[in-house]
A = this chain, B = another copy of it.
Amino acid sequence: MSRVKVADESCTVALPAALLGERWTLLLLRQAFLGTRRFEDFQSSMDISRSVLTDRLALLVEEGVLRRVAYEDAGTRTRHEYRLTEKGLDLYPVLMALRKWGERWMQPEAGPSFTLHHRDCGGDVDVRVECATCREDLTARDVTVRSPR
């Protein structure tokens, strides 16, 4: 049984919003994409309480966004780390769209804490909304809503 409370059972914005519409969840995903995997590393990088972190990690595992993987350091008991699943990795465009907006509208005075580059050519990372048919760039004004029922 999903713990995500559904505001609108047939809306594909409302469903992910119910899962992701929470600051700690988005920041936890940011850290996961930056390579963080262990509980202690999430905690130290996010300034989050242990109980909130435990809760949000459990929710993301339950929803199939993260998976829990056992690992063992020499001389310690078995511990678990958290890795993005395919479903989790597929959230990259959401984080990148959020980042692009943040860079334009909420740029901190000190400049960004890190920059992102295409591994192959070094180019900047961009997010585009486009038409799947004609590939034109789309804004909200270029889009119409249809009811399928």
Contact = CB atoms under 8 A, between A and B. Distances in A.
B7 A47 contact: yes
Contacts of A117: 143-144, 146
A143 to B, nearest CB: 5
Contacts of A100: 93
A95 interface: yes
A121 B103 CA distance: 31
Interface string A1-25: 0000001111111111111111111
Interface of A: 7-27, 30, 33-34, 46-47, 64, 84, 87, 89-108, 110-134, 136, 138-149
Given A15-B106, A20-B98, 15 more contacts: A7-B46, A14-B102, A16-B98, A16-B101, A16-B106, A17-B98, A90-B104, A90-B105, A113-B149, A114-B146, A115-B147, A116-B143, A122-B133, A126-B130, A126-B132
